[in-house]
Amino acid sequence: MLAFTIRRLIQSIGVMLVVSLIAFVMFRFVGDPVDQMVGLETTIEEREILREQLGLNDATPVQFLRFVGNAIQGDFGVSYQFKRPVATILGERMPATLELAFVSAILALVAGIPMGVYTALRRESVLSKLFLMISLIGVSLPTFLIGILFIFLFAVVFQILPSFGRGEIVDLGWWRTGLLTSSGLKALILPSITLALFQMTLIMRLVRSEMLEVLRTDYIKFCQARGLRSRSVNFGHALKNTLVPVITIAGLQIGSLIAFAIITETVFQWPGMGLLFLQAVQNVDIPIMAAYLLLIAFLFVMINMAVDMLYVVVDPRIRIGGGEE
Amino acid sequence: MTDTPLLSVRDLVVQFPTRKGVLTAVDGVSFDIKRGEVLGVVGESGAGKSMTGAAIIGLIEPPGRIASGQVLLDGERIDNLSVSQMRRVRGKKVGMVFQDPLTSLNPLYTVAQQLVETVRTHLPLSEKQAREHALALLDEVGIPAAKRRMDDYPHQFSGGMRQRVVIALALAAEPELVIADEPTTALDVSVQAQIIDVLKRLCSERGAAVMLITHDMGVIAETADRVAVMYAGRVAEIGPVRDVVQHAKHPYTQGLMGSIPTLAHDSDRLVQIHGSMPRLTDIPPGCAFNPRCAHAFDRCRQDRPSPIQTGERAVACWLADQEVGQ
Ligand SMILES: Nc1ncnc2c1ncn2[C@@H]1O[C@H](COP(=O)(O)OP(=O)(O)OP(=O)(O)O)[C@@H](O)[C@H]1O
Ligand code: SF4
Ligand SMILES: [Mg+2]
């Protein structure tokens, strides 16, 4: 278990270093950082002084090490657009994205797992076929289209939900949350459903196919042959086995929820990191782009590790190694 | 002989609707099993042995179904019970041991958890009592240090040990009949005999009857009281083991017996008779065995022979019919 944890940790650090390198290359070689920071009237000498100050004349490996060192300390430089530290800006935007992704993940799991189980157990029922049809729509319609459709229906036609923004925010000092006010919660409904829909259909289909697979196994047949109650066979024995592989994929999906949030945040003008990133792309604000990339990679890596740990907890075959005879 | 047999299978037909038409996997099978009796069932792969077992315990996978015939347990039909009634028969009255112990146990629950759940589903015992019952069962099937091992997970046991656990599970609620479908085929040769011994011992101690499906004629000869030989979804010959093994009447059985040189010899797999069993899609008219039979005559290619009962034996062959007729 310890060896496993250490191995995963080393892998994670490797991944982060590779992503750092990409971010660094982007930061250092896409356009000249000095050009982005100073006006046209700055003289060559002044530029040279700035260059020296920023360490841009040092050897590239040294620069990379400094970049990584700074990043570890949360220093991603200064945004070209806002002239403020990138870390501060991201810190302000992060709660919005994480709240959106978190609520969407819960929605996707809470709706997707029961729907998947239901469609696996009642393959022929009308409701199952309806679920499968909805899931087909969820997978095939692009997120922005669903978002715009929702806005049109609920904000324009029925006028019951806001079409943009986060509503009223409560500042907890270290976290600005929209979960504590009714307008904040209302504002969350459309974006979170939009973002959750795709993941929900994925999870539903995954649970369904895994569950069908498990229901065909010998141990489920043996459970039935022992006359165990069908509730226990379906939910105790089959579902538990179904969830082992589902955990992995669902966990990774949560990572991609944060990444996918870019589109949803744009459609709903949700003041999160995704929207910030898109604006940064438009304005070639490299420090923000680089920092966002690193942050997303970091989240992915952390989620991956958490998923692996969870896997170990759930599956005794991994938790308690090989066979004693 | 007035008492009703424990199990009575009457003209059982199991069919699978497929795109190419209806396939008949079990075609008019009849046999009885008396209380405490061991019935061996042999036959080539695809003969319908497993399907017959699955039909008895009501676990044929859809779209397969019992198309006609009856299964009676203690004289009462169990083939037409509701799902919840049938659930109470399974495990409690009819137990089943599957072929592969590596896949028969749920990997996420300990052996004790699986046993306790099974026991408590059928018997009115407390958690603690069920655990004691489980421990006693594990001791009985020969799990060493059962008290220490019972809270281990299936993957921590070897194949042979797992099959002992499977037997304990199948017998947990004291069923009157145990269907064992090739219980040793997936196991290492060195432990096969032990597993058969455990199964035989526990069942005879409890007076449980056994339907033992196997390819191993040696095991049948040592273990079974009677044997049914199946071919292409039908019973070719059935009777007391000694009679069938030493004086096989059906040409197919004769072929099978000719292939075991001595009992207790290790060449236990059935050596194939010339040719192979027809697929379900092209079973010949008349006797299903006629293309491979050295004695086949005209009638064999036209009319299907039904099992002819003489004493304790029944043989589905026109030759046997002539003998009786003479
Ligand atoms: N789902 C299915 N659809 C159609 N035919 C099937 C299906 N399952 C089994 N069969 C057919 O039913 C027949 C009987 O199969 P069964 O498993 O009972 O044979 P068996 O005697 O147990 O053979 P083996 O010794 O290989 O276990 C076979 O010919 C098989 O092809
Ligand atoms: S009925 Fe005819 S073909 Fe069939 S086994 Fe007897 S002799 Fe052979
Ligand atoms: Mg079989």
Per the domain annotation, does A320 fall within a domain? no
pLDDT in tens, chain B (326 residues): 457 899 999 999 999 998 888 999 999 999 999 999 999 999 999 999 999 999 999 999 989 999 999 999 999 999 999 999 999 999 999 999 999 999 999 999 999 999 999 999 999 999 999 999 999 999 999 999 999 999 999 999 999 999 999 999 999 999 999 999 999 988 888 899 999 999 999 999 999 999 999 988 889 999 999 999 999 999 999 999 999 988 889 999 988 877 654 444 444 444 446 778 888 888 899 999 999 988 889 999 999 999 988 888 999 999 877 765 55
Q: How confident is the model at residue A169 (pLDDT cuts 50, 70, 90)?
A: confident
- The predicted structure's pLDDT at residue B324: 58
Q: How confident is the model at residue A325 (pLDDT cuts 50, 70, 90)?
A: very low
Of A25-34, A169-178, B100-109, minimum mean pLDDT range: A25-34
| Tens of pLDDT, residues A53-86 | 777 777 888 888 888 888 888 888 888 888 889 9
- The predicted structure's pLDDT at residue B119: 96
Residue at a domain's end among A15, A49, A72: A72
Q: How many helices (H) and strands (E) does chain B have?
A: 13, 12
Identify all chain B residues contacting A236, using CB atoms and an 8 Å cutoff. 117
Nearest Cα residue to A197 out of A267, A248, A247, A244:
A267
Q: Is the same domain home to A91 and A61?
A: no
Per the domain annotation, does A321 fall within a domain? no
What does the angle CA B33 – CA B35 – CA B38 come to, to the nearest 5 degrees?
Answer: 55
- The predicted structure's pLDDT at residue B267: 45
B49 is written with which tokens?
């042995």
- The SS3 assignment for A185 reads helix
Distance CA A214, CA B263 (A): 40
- Those residues whose C-beta lies under 8 Å from the C-beta of residue A104, and which sit 6 or more positions away, are A192, A193, A195, A196, A199, A257
Neighbours of ion ligand 3 (CB under 5 A): B 50
Distance CA B85, CA B91 (A): 12
Give me the residue spans of the domains in chain B.
7-93+175-236
| B91 and chain A in contact, CB less than 8 A | yes
Per the domain annotation, does A299 fall within a domain? yes
| Tens of pLDDT, residues A202-214 | 899 999 999 999 9
Contact B316, B306 (CB under 8 A): yes
| Tens of pLDDT, residues B244-295 | 988 889 999 988 877 654 444 444 444 446 778 888 888 899 999 999 988 8
Per the domain annotation, does A152 fall within a domain? yes
Whether the model clears a pTM of 0.90, i.e. scores above it, the answer is no
Distance CA B120, CA B85 (A): 17
Q: Is the same domain home to A158 and A276?
A: yes
User: Is the distance from the beta carbon of residue B251 to the nearest atom of ligand 2 less than 6 Å?
Assistant: yes
ipTM exceeding 0.85, yes/no: yes
Of all ligands present, the nearest one to the C-alpha of B269 is 1
**Domain count along chain A:** 2
Contact B73, B177 (CB under 8 A): yes
Question: Can you tell me the mean pLDDT for A216-237?
Answer: 95
- The predicted structure's pLDDT at residue A166: 85
Q: Is the same domain home to A134 and A67?
A: no
Looking at every residue in chain A, the average pLDDT score rounds to 86
> Residues 34 to 73 of B: which have CB under 8 A from any A CB?
57, 59
Q: Is the same domain home to A154 and A7?
A: no
Residue at a domain's end among A13, A46, A72: A72
What does the angle CA B151 – CA A2 – CA A246 come to, to the nearest 5 degrees?
Answer: 65
Distance CA A302, CA A296 (A): 10
Residue to substitute in B13, B26, B50 for testing ligand 1 pocket (most ligand atoms within 8 angstroms of CB): B50
| A321 and chain B in contact, CB less than 8 A | no
Measured between CB atoms, which of B95, B98, B169 is closest to A218? B98
> Residues 223 to 252 of A: which have CB under 8 A from any B CB?
223-230, 232, 236-237, 240-241, 244
Greater confidence (A176 vs B112) lies with B112
Distance CA B77, CA B71 (A): 6
Q: Give whole-number Cα distances, A90 to A27, A97, A261, B224, B310, in Å.
A: 17, 10, 15, 77, 91
Measured between CB atoms, which of A218, A224, A316 is closest to B153? A316
Distance CA B26, CA B49 (A): 8
Question: Is the peptide bond between B124 and the residue preceding it cis, with omega within 30 degrees of 0?
Answer: no
Of A28-42, A135-149, A265-279, B91-105, minimum mean pLDDT range: A28-42
In order, the DSSP letters of A88-148 are: HHHHHHHHHHHHHHHHHHHHHHHHHHHHHHHHHHSTTSHHHHHHHHHHHHHHHS-HHHHHH
- Those residues whose C-beta lies under 8 Å from the C-beta of residue B159, and which sit 6 or more positions away, are B101, B102, B186, B187, B188, B191
Q: Is the same domain home to A151 and A293?
A: yes
| Nearest chain A CA: its distance from B143 CA (Å) | 11
Nearest Cα residue to B155 out of A130, A123, A318, A64:
A318
Per the domain annotation, does A80 fall within a domain? no
Provide the terminal-to-terminal Cα distance of chain A, rounded to the nearest Å.
21
Distance CA A82, CA A73 (A): 21
- The predicted structure's pLDDT at residue A9: 87
- The predicted structure's pLDDT at residue B260: 53
Q: How confident is the model at residue A119 (pLDDT cuts 50, 70, 90)?
A: very high
User: Is the distance from the beta carbon of residue B160 to the nearest atom of ligand 2 less than 6 Å?
Assistant: no
Question: Can you tell me the mean pLDDT for A128-153?
Answer: 87
Query: Domain holding A241: CATH number?
Result: 1.10.3720.10
Residue at a domain's end among A20, A43, A72: A72
Identify all chain B residues contacting A314, using CB atoms and an 8 Å cutoff. 108
Residue to substitute in B317, B322, B323, B324 for testing ligand 2 pocket (most ligand atoms within 8 angstroms of CB): B317
Per the domain annotation, does A47 fall within a domain? yes
Report which secondary-structure segment, H or E, holds A230.
helix A230-231
- Domain of A38 in residue numbering reads as 2-72
Per the domain annotation, does A319 fall within a domain? no
| Residue B160, amino acid | G
Report which secondary-structure segment, H or E, holds A8.
helix A2-29
Interface-testing mutation among A122, A212, A219, with chain B (most B C-beta atoms within 10 A): A219
Q: What fold, for B7-93+175-236? A: Rossmann fold (3.40.50)
- The predicted structure's pLDDT at residue A208: 94
| Residue A273, amino acid | M
Q: Is the same domain home to A115 and A219?
A: yes
Q: Is the same domain home to A293 and A167?
A: yes
Buried b (16+ CB within 10 A) or exposed e, B252-283: bbbbbbeebeeeeeeebebeebeeebbebeeb
